[in-house]
């Protein structure tokens, strides 16, 4: 493609002509690569001329110095498909992205440094960013518009004004991007309040704003901040919202109200719909929020977006298409990806084995006098089991965990004793007389998803980083077993071992597929855990909802025999699961 020029002056200009950005967010990391083209074609067909995506650092550097940019992580391939479809791109490669993504995109290994200060000029943090940027921008800079690529502009930091106001940090990111070959205009995005906009802005970048309603009011605030003029842009207009475990229903918004706000934004400037298509928090990559309590997000990132989690065109899509048609030509596009939906019905559990029976096969323990948090064990996600011997000669009357996150299940000689969540973890608990003389203490701690927004961002070490108190004093000598529950671990499962009802366990279901199609795994009657299909982690499930089924793209199925393994922690199970062709996100 020939090189072009994109500029920010009094307006946005593309090759010298005024240009209105009409964009939608699609996160390549929440959509299987085989469906990238389908989602991008549908974005273009709604009338958008641009796609926006974040780049999550933890997706591309899961371990320090291990950089991954192939397959699902091939951001260059995603952007090239976008260009083929006729879309420009806004890329947001800041170290922190929020996005309801685990730890806001920051890699958890940063927390192995006891003194870590995130999103600041703390030297070890900047050093890690610098190393990551040296790899990332080798991929991105050739894809800029002035090199014949699709990238119009990039973002320096994301909603920094709601976190801090250290200008030296923002200047470092800006200068580091320029030093690594970024030539397109740079932007920031913040909430529509003057203190946030002031704190999150830095010289040499163009401010944009994020909001979900009251467009006229919020754009007025942005214009007030743009003292020297320049185009107004809603970098994130939220036409939907995300769901958290325990919500009483799937979050939805008013289509007519959304359309009215979109019209208002486009009448005054440019807009990016966040999200156009949400996708899925596969694996353990959901984020959490924390204000008064811990609120982890569900596996689905449907977002009540114009395009559903499984790529279906929703009524909101048609309403937005009508609004966009007032400002741009809406192309006629024939979608090139054939996507079918199938129901495979009821599938029976064939094998089961308890975690305690196979623990030593699955994980090599680290031994320490005191408990260590997940990050010190070199573990990113999943569960950690803490095990210690206890003298049966001593009657244990009280138990307390100090510095534990997020959810702990306590077992005395393999028998369930307590399950503690969030604030419950801080309290001291009585041990009843029948349980006081035990020989083995197991504590299974689950990382429910690191917080992705707000002041709790730096308090996200998982597992146990304090002490376990028995009878009021610290108990020592621990074995710690990291359990990331991945494909490599599943290969070590031995289903001939003992199964103990009521304890954490693995369940195997095998089923045949003749014709591959998108489907949904229904886990009604199952308690809590995660499900892996052919070694791929589909995500978490939890009986408390609102999400009832896990999305299974056809690309994850095999023609012939498929293996589904469920790790369930509560001892609440059924003899079967169902694979159905429709979602069930909960009562709308």
| 403, two tokens | 């510095």
How buried is residue 303: exposed, middle or buried, by Cβ count under 10 Å (0-12/13-18/19+)? Answer: buried
Question: Residues 484, 448, 518, 85: is their CA dihedral positive or negative?
Answer: negative
Residue 588: predicted pLDDT: 40
Cα dihedral sign, 581-585-586-588:
negative
pLDDT of residue 393: 87
375 is a catalytic site residue: no
Domains of the chain: 6-324 (3.20.20.80), 345-353+486-580 (2.60.120.260), 370-476 (2.60.120.260)
- Positions in the chain short of pLDDT 70: 586-588
* Catalytic residue selected from 41, 102, 157, 236: 236
Q: Determine contact, residues 222/209, Cβ cutoff 8 Å.
A: yes
Is 17 in contact with 309 (CB distance < 8 Å)? no
Reply yes or no on whether 236 is catalytic: yes
Contact 299, 540 (CB under 8 A): yes
For the chain, give percent helix, strand, coil, nearest 5. Answer: 25, 30, 40
Q: Among 61, 102, 159, 568, which one carries the catalytic annotation?
A: 159
**Which residue from 382, 484, 465, 479 is spatially nearest to 425, judged by alpha carbons?**
465
């Amino acid at each position: 493609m020939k090189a072009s020029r994109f500029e920010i002056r009094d307006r946005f200009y593309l090759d010298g002509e005024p240009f209105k950005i009409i964009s939608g967010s699609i996160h390549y990391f929440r959509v299987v690569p085989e469906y990238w083209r389908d989602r991008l074609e549908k974005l273009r067909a709604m009338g958008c001329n641009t796609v926006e995506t974040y780049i999550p650092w933890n997706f591309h550097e899961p371990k320090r110095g291990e950089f991954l940019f192939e397959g699902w992580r091939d951001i260059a391939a995603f952007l090239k498909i976008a260009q083929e479809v006729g879309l420009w791109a806004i890329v947001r490669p800041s170290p922190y992205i929020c996005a309801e993504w685990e730890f806001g995109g920051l890699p958890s290994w940063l927390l192995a440094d006891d003194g870590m200060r995130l999103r600041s000029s703390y030297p070890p943090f900047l050093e890690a960013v610098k190393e990551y940027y040296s790899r990332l921008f080798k991929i991105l800079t050739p894809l800029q518009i002035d090199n014949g690529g699709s990238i119009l502009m990039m973002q320096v930091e994301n909603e920094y004004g709601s976190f801090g106001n250290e200008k030296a940090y923002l200047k470092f990111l800006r200068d580091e991007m320029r030093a690594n070959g970024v030539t397109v205009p740079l932007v920031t995005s913040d909430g529509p309040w003057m203190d946030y906009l002031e704190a999150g802005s830095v010289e040499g970048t163009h401010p944009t704003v994020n909001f979900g309603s009251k467009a006229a009011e919020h754009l007025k605030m942005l214009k007030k901040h743009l003292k020297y003029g320049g185009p107004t842009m809603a970098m994130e207009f939220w036409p939907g919202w995300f769901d958290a475990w325990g919500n009483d229903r799937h979050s939805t918004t008013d289509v007519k109200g959304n359309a009215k706000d979109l019209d208002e934004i486009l009448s005054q400037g440019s807009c990016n719909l966040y999200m156009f298509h949400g996708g899925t928090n596969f694996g353990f990559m959901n984020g959490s929020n924390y204000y008064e309590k811990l609120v982890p997000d569900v596996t689905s990132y449907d977002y009540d977006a114009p395009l559903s989690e499984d790529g279906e065109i929703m009524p909101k899509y048609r309403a937005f298409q009508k609004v966009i048609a007032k400002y741009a030509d809406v192309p006629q596009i024939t979608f090139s990806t054939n996507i079918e939906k199938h129901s495979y019905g009821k599938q029976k559990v064939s094998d089961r084995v308890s975690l305690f029976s196979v623990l030593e096969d699955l994980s090599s323990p680290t031994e320490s006098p005191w408990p260590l948090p997940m990050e010190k064990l070199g573990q990113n996600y999943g569960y950690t089991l803490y095990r210690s011997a206890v003298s049966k000669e001593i009657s244990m009357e009280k138990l307390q965990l100090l510095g534990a996150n997020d959810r702990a299940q306590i077992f005395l000689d393999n028998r369930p004793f307590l399950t503690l969540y969030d604030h419950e973890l801080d309290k001291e608990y009585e041990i009843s007389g029948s349980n006081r003389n035990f020989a083995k203490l197991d504590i299974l701690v689950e990382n429910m998803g690191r917080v992705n927004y707000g002041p709790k961002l730096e308090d996200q070490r998982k597992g146990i980083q304090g002490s376990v108190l028995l009878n009021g004093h610290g108990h020592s000598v621990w074995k710690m077993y990291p359990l990331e529950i991945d494909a490599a671990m599943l290969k070590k499962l031995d289903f001939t071992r003992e199964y103990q009802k009521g304890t954490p366990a693995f369940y195997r279901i095998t089923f045949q597929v003749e014709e591959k199609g998108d489907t949904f795994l229904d886990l009604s009657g199952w308690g809590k855990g995660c499900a892996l299909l052919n070694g791929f982690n589909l995500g978490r499930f939890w009986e408390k909802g609102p999400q009832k089924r896990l999305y299974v793209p056809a690309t994850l199925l095999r023609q012939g025999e498929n293996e589904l393994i469920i790790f369930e922690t509560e001892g609440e199970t059924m003899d079967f699961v169902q694979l159905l062709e429709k979602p069930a996100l909960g009562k709308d």
